[in-house]
Amino acid sequence: MMSFLTAVLLGLVQGIAEFLPVSSSGHLVLLQNIFNVEEADLLFDVLLHLGTLTAVVAVYWRDIRGVIRGGFGLIGIGPDKGRTTRKNFNRRRMALFLIIGSLPLVLAMLVKDYVEIMYHSTALVSLTLMINGLILFFSDRFSRGTRTLQDARGFHALAVGLAQVLAVVPGLSRSGTTISMGMVCGFKRSFAVQFSFLLSVPAVLGATVVSIYNAASAGIDPAMLPRYLCGMAASAVSGYFSIRLLRYLAAHNYFGGFAYYCWGAGLIALVLSLIA
């Protein structure tokens, strides 16, 4: 049975690694495979992701509210109906870009079964973590972009959405791949970070709805809920501060520094997997 300490540990790892570009899935796999940390069941996994979603909503609540209003505006309903102000135009533009960026998630569903096989290979996850470092390192060379919401185009949003699909591979960071692709597309650093986190909301919501159904079908042990909720709280709190930290580091040109961590962690994990 999972202890409170294990639940909190997994929650902290989820919250920190989900938003810092170092791959939460990769770190959880390494913890489970190398250090024999108990694997989370489906319900706990859902709650951890709900915790990180709570962190995104807490930091970007104003933007999310604007996107919702913009989404209603796209179909001609809601409080902004008939208004053509610059603010309403930007809200609708962001909502449209998030819809376009979310379309590639269909591809993630098609390859889900193949990707799950990778979770059992510590060496493979170690290698993809080092590849994640390469992505961060080279994308940082494209960090002089000035493109913002007004200058972005639909194909830029689609490219970032395709990068998000790559992150279903354990060891590749969702925030890292999407922010990196945004910078390659010429996005200003702050806009690349903002768009990446807003794009995570529909992705996490969609995955959560499916996972809740599957978790309910598999059965829920009420005795584990207090532990699971502690882990969820840990992921929410650590996720909130991780988002704040990443925004600060990206604004001060420290984004590429995470590449060195990924290379080091991946190399150590690879060595440990070979000698175990």
Among 14, 62, 7, which residue's Cα sits nearest to residue 37? 7
For residue 152, the 8-state DSSP code is: -
Mean predicted confidence (pLDDT) in 23-31? 86
CB atoms within 10 A of CB 118: 17
Out of 4-18, 35-49, 155-169, 228-242, least confident range? 35-49
Q: How confident is the model over 221-231, as pLDDT tens digits?
A: 778 889 999 99
Mean predicted confidence (pLDDT) in 238-247? 95
Mean predicted confidence (pLDDT) in 82-101? 90
Among 198, 193, 96, 155, which residue's Cα sits nearest to residue 88? 96
CA 78 to chain centre: 29
Q: How confident is the model over 165-198, as pLDDT tens digits?
A: 998 899 999 999 999 999 999 999 999 999 999 9
Residue 43 is predicted with a pLDDT of 81
Residue 29 is predicted with a pLDDT of 83
Domain count, the chain: 1
Mean predicted confidence (pLDDT) in 85-110? 91
- Res 276 pLDDT > 70: no
Out of 13-17, 195-199, 213-217, 262-266, least confident range? 213-217
Is pLDDT larger for residue 19 or for residue 210? 19
Those residues with Cβ within 8 angstroms of residue 15's Cβ, 6 or more apart along the chain or in another chain: 51, 52, 55, 234, 235, 236, 237, 238, 239, 240, 242
pTM of the model: 0.91
Q: What is the mean pLDDT of the chain?
A: 88
Is pLDDT larger for residue 25 or for residue 163? 163
Mean predicted confidence (pLDDT) in 207-213? 77
Q: Which domain holds residue 73?
A: 4-275
Q: How confident is the model at residue 40 (pLDDT cuts 50, 70, 90)?
A: low
Q: pLDDT above 70 covers what percent of the chain? A: 96
- Res 41 pLDDT > 90: no
